[in-house]
Amino acid sequence: MYEKITPPAAGAKITFKNGEPVVPDNPIIPFIRGDGTGIDIWPATQKVLDAAVAKAYKGQRQISWFKVYAGDEACDLYGTYQYLPQDTLTAIEEYGVAIKGPLTTPIGGGIRSLNVALRQIFDLYACVRPCRYYAGTPSPHKNPEKLDVIVYRENTEDIYLGIEWRQGSEIGDRLIKILNEELIPATPEHGKKRIPLDSGIGIKPISKTGSQRLVRRAIKHALLLPKNKQQVTLVHKGNIMKYTEGAFRDWGYELATSEFRQETVTEQESWILSNKEKNPNISLEENARQIEPGFDNLTPDKKAQVVKEVETVLNSIWATHGDGKWKEKVLVNDRIADSIFQQIQTRPDEYSILATMNLNGDYLSDAAAAIVGGLGMGPGANIGDSSAIFEATHGTAPKHAGLDRINPGSVILSGVMMLEFLGWQEAADLVKKGLSDAIANSQVTYDLARLLEPPVEPLKCSEFADAIIQHFG
Ligand SMILES: NC(=O)C1=CN([C@@H]2O[C@H](COP(=O)(O)OP(=O)(O)OC[C@H]3O[C@@H](n4cnc5c(N)ncnc54)[C@H](OP(=O)(O)O)[C@@H]3O)[C@@H](O)[C@H]2O)C=CC1
Ligand SMILES: O=C(O)CCC(=O)C(=O)O
Ligand SMILES: [Mg+2]
């Protein structure tokens, strides 16, 4: 079945039932070491995870690691250009849950991203990237502890689908000709716009199915959070890209107010309901005036539309959501993408789950990680309905590769997410405690050491792993 690898003799498979993992006490988990700093980070991560599982379960549970290959290591074993061998895909499909270090993607020409390919092949449609602060971590922000968000990034479509044509290519030029001569002129709203002839062309598909399954998962996650964090913000640039990013927002609200009608309230609904709670006799028009900035300057048709919206909300959900009951629901709101980048810095405590499309989530997860201490502290998970691959937010950081200096924190914390996904909370808690206490004692790698005041002598990558284990207690 496998060409060049052999699964461990001991261990059993994780299976999935209704999208949830069914986990034996000795699961076989494939891992990809990763390129660049993967060579430093993976051994540190494996050591910490094994130590936590051993301490938490005293031999009753353990992970049987299964080494599989991707990136440079795969080419060494399988031959030139064999970046993602079939063996690796078979193993991940068979065992369901995997963890990986970062993999290199060349800019411009060359292979497309192996990281993105894995997400697409296994339909891991939700990229979940929590950004929370560990006390003692140096940060460029005054109050980094106020940020506690989870980026929920759609992981399979948007421009990451990778459908694009090089400038000057035959098909690219044909496409531009068809667009300029037929399709754009046939769409009156595009007026006299034309695509410059020397353009590269990329396609940005955003589907209703893809958007809604992501938002569905985000709302389900919000329902498990403490009451004050039960919020999902739909992040989009819908003012500019109306039928892709704007549609993501609309489909998100549509899903929230249909499938999760009893569990959610939209921000606009919350304003309408609270206006009536403050003033039970408020007219529909006055309520509309209070929720719609510039109401008095709207055309009569527009005004009537807003009044109708107020009426519909009150008629449909006052009984279930009124009299303050909406405060117990998951709040669903939306923010324009550029604005959310400043909002997480200026008003971090107002946000919880940030549901995004692929590109926005990529940018936003690096930015949010920076606030809580940098890319060394940014874990992640790629989750689908029948498999999951855990990996950090950061890349291969090539200039630090092989120096035993990089911060393994994000892959270790990705391992914590994996343990939680398996339901092994005791082991996950041990790692979180060890990592928190190491940082609180200023036992940190170079990235955090250089920001501490006064600066401290940095630990090596491997020493940081040992410090985490020592702090298990
Ligand atoms: N999922 C994946 O596997 C990903 C892969 N990539 C790929 O990785 C390669 C390199 O990308 P690049 O743009 O340099 O981005 P990287 O995220 O690899 O690194 C950028 C910088 O971030 C800091 N950093 C990254 N990882 C850590 C860490 N573990 N601890 C502390 N600091 C860290 C370092 O900053 P400093 O030097 O200032 O300390 C580093 O130079 C590219 O081929 C890219 O495509 C990128 C992102 C995700
Ligand atoms: O795959 C890559 O090279 C980059 C992907 C990336 O930046 C991410 O998923 O955050
Ligand atoms: Mg990224």
- Where does residue 42 rank: exposed (0-12), middle (13-18), buried (19+ CB within 10 A)? buried
Residues 90, 183: one domain?
no
Q: Determine the atom of ligand 1 nearest the C-alpha atom of 391.
A: 1
Residues 9, 132: one domain?
yes
Instruction: Tell me if 324 is assigned to some domain.
Output: no
ipTM above 0.95, yes or no: yes
- Residue 396 CA to ligand 1 centre (angstroms): 5
* CA atoms of 37 and 396, how far apart (whole Å): 5
Residues 100, 180: one domain?
no
Distances (CA, A) of 10 to 29, 34, 62, 154, 216: 11, 24, 10, 36, 37
Q: Whose CA is nearest to atom 1 of ligand 1?
A: 102
Instruction: Tell me if 187 is assigned to some domain.
Output: yes
Residues 187, 57: one domain?
no
Q: Whose CA is nearest to atom 3 of ligand 2?
A: 105
Catalytic residue flag (residue 146): no
**What's the Rg (C-alpha) of the chain?**
25
In degrees rounded to 5, what are phi and psi of residue 154? -60, 135
Q: State whether residue 15 is helix, strand or coil.
A: strand
**What lines the ligand 1 site, CB under 6 Å?**
102-105, 115, 374-376, 391, 394-397, 399, 406-407, 410, 447
Q: What is the pTM of this model?
A: 0.97
Structure confidence at residue 125 (pLDDT):
98
Q: Which residue has the tokens 């060579």?
A: 39
Task: Considering every ligand atom shown, identify the ligand nearest to the alpha carbon of residue 367 and give its number.
Answer: 3
In degrees rounded to 5, what are phi and psi of residue 64? -95, 105
User: Alpha-carbon dihedral of residues 179, 183, 187, 189, nearest 10 degrees?
Assistant: 0
Residues 379, 462: one domain?
yes
Task: Considering every ligand atom shown, identify the ligand nearest to the alpha carbon of residue 394 and give its number.
Answer: 1
- Residue 328 CA to ligand 1 centre (angstroms): 40
- Where does residue 439 rank: exposed (0-12), middle (13-18), buried (19+ CB within 10 A)? buried
Catalytic residue from among 69, 78, 134, 160? 160
* CA atoms of 263 and 251, how far apart (whole Å): 17
Catalytic residue flag (residue 160): yes
Q: Determine the atom of ligand 1 nearest the C-alpha atom of 113.
A: 45
- Residue 116 CA to ligand 2 centre (angstroms): 7
Instruction: Tell me if 54 is assigned to some domain.
Output: yes
* CA atoms of 89 and 91, how far apart (whole Å): 5
In degrees rounded to 5, what are phi and psi of residue 115? -65, -45
pLDDT per 10-residue tile (average), the chain, 473 residues: 97 93 97 98 98 98 98 96 97 98 90 96 98 93 96 98 96 98 97 97 98 98 97 98 98 98 98 98 98 96 97 98 98 98 97 98 97 95 97 97 98 98 98 97 96 93 98 94
Task: Considering every ligand atom shown, identify the ligand nearest to the alpha carbon of residue 448 and give its number.
Answer: 1
Q: Which tokens go with 70? A: 């991707």
Structure confidence at residue 308 (pLDDT):
98
Residues 82, 183: one domain?
no
Residues 130, 195: one domain?
no
By residue range, what is the domain housing residue 445? Answer: 1-139+372-473
Q: How far is CA 14 from the centre of its chain?
A: 23
Catalytic residue flag (residue 76): no
Contacts for 392 with CB less than 8 Å, ≥ 6 apart: 41, 101, 102, 375, 378, 379, 380, 410, 411, 413, 414
Residues 3, 39: one domain?
yes
Q: Whose CA is nearest to atom 9 of ligand 2?
A: 362
Catalytic residue from among 40, 148, 334, 362? 362
Q: Determine the atom of ligand 1 nearest the C-alpha atom of 409.
A: 29
Catalytic residue flag (residue 296): no
Number of domains into which the chain is organized: 2
Instruction: Tell me if 325 is assigned to some domain.
Output: no
* CA atoms of 90 and 109, how far apart (whole Å): 28
Q: Determine the atom of ligand 2 nearest the C-alpha atom of 104.
A: 3
Residues 2, 109: one domain?
yes
